[in-house]
Amino acid sequence: MDKLIYRLFIYSGGGYDGCIWEYNVCFWDKDGKFHNAYSTGHDGIKDENDALETVKVLREFERDGVKNYHHPLSSRINQYTMLLDYTKEEDCKEIAEYGASLVTGIVKFINNVLQEDHNIFIKCHICEKTGQDLDDFQLDEAKHQGVASWYESFVCNECRSEFSCSYCGEDYRECQEALIMNDPDESPICVNCYQEKTERVRSRMQMMVKSNIDEAICCRNEIERREKLVEQVVCDMEEAAQQEPEENLLLNDATPNLL
């Protein structure tokens, strides 16, 4: 067999006690180095020789034009088992057809471990925008089967935020009437968060008004206290002024005697 480079092998691995199987993947990088990226259960590939043996069986099936593979020697191979070149555009289109969970794992492995270029494009299933950066997309539409669950599709961040509450992040695509969009430029907010936010604003305003009233009462009390003080001082002064002539009189009366 030719030396394998830039190859991704997707096969049916898994097979735990609970009879669950899942896709497993291994790679041959740009130098032909083997990477057993994800191998689970009794059907997971053990090493490169094991992988090459399975690829050989796959090629025999393909050569014979067998579409539905049922081979006692290779439960790893079914109609979805593929050996793909992750740098070739047409091969990568096929990779993108596998569920979003698997595609995410494959792209992460190529980016982070192999650190190589690939031609895998992720597609938003709503607006059909495509891109290579995983950060621009999110996993969407989960599928459950028995105890297993995986993501079927991707949604771009723009489509996700269009139908999500900008506060709690909850997805309201299925229940858009629960989203409030006051301003077309504003991010939508769900009814629950809107009520909570309104309640928070109301209680903050109540607290502000209360503190203003308290301050006003304080000011009024202070003003009253000062007014009383002024009144008291004026009273005292008036009293003093009234007493003054008598004192002066006394003094005046006394003065001649003194003189």
* Main-chain dihedrals φ then ψ at residue 66, nearest 5 degrees: -80, 125
> For residues 90 and 183, which CB has a smaller minimum distance to Zn ion in the complex?
183
Q: Which residue has the tokens 């009253």?
A: 224
Q: Could you tell me the smallest distance in angstroms from the CB atom of residue 195 to Zn ion?
A: 10
> For residues 20 and 191, which CB has a smaller minimum distance to Zn ion in the complex?
191
C-alpha span between 95 and 85 (Å, rounded): 10
Q: Could you tell me the smallest distance in angstroms from the CB atom of residue 123 to Zn ion?
A: 9
Q: Could you tell me the smallest distance in angstroms from the CB atom of residue 97 to Zn ion?
A: 18
Site residues, Zn ion (CB under 5 A): 124, 126-127, 129, 156, 159, 165, 167-168, 190, 193
C-alpha span between 75 and 13 (Å, rounded): 8
Structure tokens at 242: 């009234």
Q: Could you tell me the smallest distance in angstroms from the CB atom of residue 10 to Zn ion?
A: 26
> For residues 41 and 131, which CB has a smaller minimum distance to Zn ion in the complex?
131
Residue 10 forms beta bridges with which residues? Answer: 25, 82
- Helical segments of the chain, H only: 48-63, 89-95, 100-108, 157-162, 191-258
> For residues 128 and 246, which CB has a smaller minimum distance to Zn ion in the complex?
128
Single-letter amino acid code for the residue at 181: M
